Amino acid sequence: MKVLVIGSGGREHALAWKLAQSARVQTVYVAPGNGGTALDKRLRNVPITGIAELADFAQSEKIALTVVGPEAPLAAGVVDAFRARGLRIFGPTQAAAQLESSKAFAKDFMKRHGIPTAAYETFSDAAAAHAYVDRLGAPIVIKADGLAAGKGVVVAMSLSEAHQAVDWMLLDNKLGVQHNAGGARVVIEEYLQGEEASFIVLCDGKNVLPLATSQDHKRLLDADAGPNTGGMGAYSPAPVVTPNVHARVMQEIIGPTIAGMAKDGIPYTGFLYAGLMIDAQGRPKTLEFNCRMGDPETQPIMMRLRSDLLEVLLAATEGTLDQVELTWDRRVALGVVLAAHGYPLQPRKGDPIEGLPAEAPDAMVFHAGTMLDGDGQLRTAGGRVLCVTALGDSVKAAQQRAYETLRGIRFDGMQYRSDIGFRALRR
């Protein structure tokens, strides 16, 4: 059986790596892939990104299943295009992907269906947005209404930072946001206190299958300091998601979301990622929805998954997720992101990467922003370059193994946090 994974990041490397382990898989193609997927003998890169060309490839190669990694092709309607040709693909339609591609759509949806989230207002006029910020004060959260590769959220701890974020998103577009119809908009939210967690489920339109819980570290620097990023590391499971919190999330957030989408005539299929804020009393609120697996959460989750991912995704595309039970490695998985010089605002590309360790049963280096040049030299090609992921009997053991694994890796300007997992250790 041939499988196609669309995307080029660490999430896609992890999905392709896991799919290649299935006994029924003959070849896993990754389009366009990265340096790591190019080096892996079990995977084959395909230099295609256009939706029509991807569908042509899937048709001509008789691809049995396509899995969509990143948000941009989902927002552009890749699932609709594949389904129109009778091709099997796992992901949400363009209409359903608005849960991620439009923060305004998602907030209005949550309000309409009674899903717990932060109070908010939406603005396209900068003067009105600035007045609202002055009225509410700081801390306050400013979100771009559009796709911004995980960098379209500013948690402003001061009024000056909030006003700067409004200008960045509405006037300058310094974050490179793909605006939705109607131009630049921002969602301004109340600041929520608590601990964040990532809650990712598989959906087949009516049935839901939760994956292992995880938690990522969004800030660039140790102790959650510095600017927001796409994620500097993650671990699974997340101790903050207790059995009680898990039940509440399924009952108060995930269930009503799937039911609400069906009620609105937009049945949801694919991965659904609820970014949560859990307060001191264990009450979850929804910070955001993503319509795909998280990155870097996918890497630790795939390290822990013992079930055959191909069989799970085939069931998801057949509407039979209620018949699937997942099995997990009981150990903790923890991943540390190695980022490029200048990340997150101006990552430098082209630096040679040296000292990569071999894959081990309990440690794997997943590639994200990497490429092979014409001489076979691995180089940086994006902001988040690698995610060094390891298993251990405890958070501490997984953390030690991950940092031990990354010790020999070198590229100029390499930045990483030295405290991934600190919240779990503190608990």
Q: Give residue 94's pLDDT.
A: 97
Q: How far apart are CA 100 and CA 109, in angstroms?
A: 11
Q: Give residue 172's pLDDT.
A: 77
Q: Give residue 150's pLDDT.
A: 60
Question: Is residue 370 within 8 Å of residue 352, measured between CB atoms?
Answer: no
Q: Give residue 23's pLDDT.
A: 97
Question: Is residue 262 within 8 Å of residue 268, measured between CB atoms?
Answer: yes
The series of mean pLDDT values per 10 residues for the chain, 427 residues long, is 98 98 97 97 96 98 98 96 98 96 91 95 91 93 78 87 90 68 83 94 97 95 92 96 97 98 97 96 95 96 98 98 97 98 95 97 98 96 98 98 98 98 90
Q: Calculate the alpha carbon distances from 68 to 98, 191, 243, 292 in Å.
A: 15, 32, 30, 8
Strand order in the sheet with 332-339: 215-216, 233-236, 332-339, 384-392, 363-367
Q: How far apart are CA 198 and CA 307, in angstroms?
A: 20
Nearest-CA neighbor of 23 among 323, 309, 321?
309
Q: Which helix (H) or strand (E) holds 79?
A: helix 78-84
Q: Give residue 400's pLDDT.
A: 98
Nearest-CA neighbor of 16 among 313, 240, 254?
313
Question: Is residue 409 within 8 Å of residue 385, measured between CB atoms?
Answer: no
Give the up-direction half-sphere exposure of residue 52: CA atoms within 13 A in the CB hemisphere. 0
Q: Give residue 152's pLDDT.
A: 78
* Helical H segments across 168-308, by residue range: 243-249, 255-263, 298-304
Residue 415: beta bridge partners?
339
Q: Give residue 174's pLDDT.
A: 63
Q: Give residue 182's pLDDT.
A: 67
